[in-house]
Structures are given as structure tokens and as C-alpha cells.
């Protein structure tokens, strides 16, 4: 019998830019803007010409952005 893979993604897994786009439901160019902004940029790692994102760090960033938005 095969073990069924959990549907909960590994929080330490690295995500591609497209996966972050899908998670945030924004365009590729929006993700690039979030990466390069001076105030609270989206955390990333550079791999060659591409970017990789730690799932846990992205979720923390989302939580922080949501808290700031909700406090206004």
C-alpha cells in the first residue's frame, strides 16, 4: 500500500516565483515589485537568474502585510 502524501505543503519548501504568484493571486510583475520595494520587501533567495521563496517566510510576510492593512 502506498503512503498518501499530506496535502499540507512543507513550510520550509522553496517556492518558485510562479507559485508565489498563485499563492498571492497577483501577477509576476507584482511579485517583482514586492521583492524590490524598500519598505518590507518580500523575502527571497536568488538562484542564478531566478528567485526562490521560503514558504514560511512568505506566509510571515503575508501575515505582517495583512496586520498592517487591517490596523488602518
Reply yes or no on whether the pLDDT at 4 is more than 80.
no
Give percent of the chain above pLDDT 70: 83
Cα separation, 52 vs 62, in Å, equals 16
The neighbouring-strand residues paired with 14 are 54
Look up the CATH number of domain 14-71: 1.10.1660
- Single pTM value for the model: 0.77
pLDDT band at 1 (very low <50, low <70, confident <90, very high): very low
- pLDDT at residue 10 in the model: 72
62 vs 1: which has the higher pLDDT: 62
| pLDDT of 32 strictly over 60 | yes
Residue 53: enclosing H or E segment and its boundaries?
strand 50-54
With beta carbons less than 8 A apart as the criterion, state whether 35 and 51 touch: yes
Helix-strand-coil split of the chain, %, nearest 5: 45, 15, 40
DSSP state of 11: T
Amino acid at each position: 500500500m502506498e503512503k498518501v502524501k499530506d496535502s499540507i505543503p512543507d513550510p520550509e519548501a522553496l517556492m518558485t516565483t510562479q507559485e508565489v504568484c498563485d499563492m498571492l493571486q497577483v501577477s509576476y510583475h507584482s511579485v517583482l515589485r514586492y521583492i524590490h520595494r524598500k519598505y518590507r520587501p518580500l523575502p527571497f533567495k536568488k538562484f542564478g537568474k531566478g528567485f526562490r521563496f521560503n514558504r514560511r517566510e512568505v506566509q510571515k510576510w503575508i501575515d505582517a502585510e495583512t496586520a498592517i492593512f487591517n490596523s488602518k
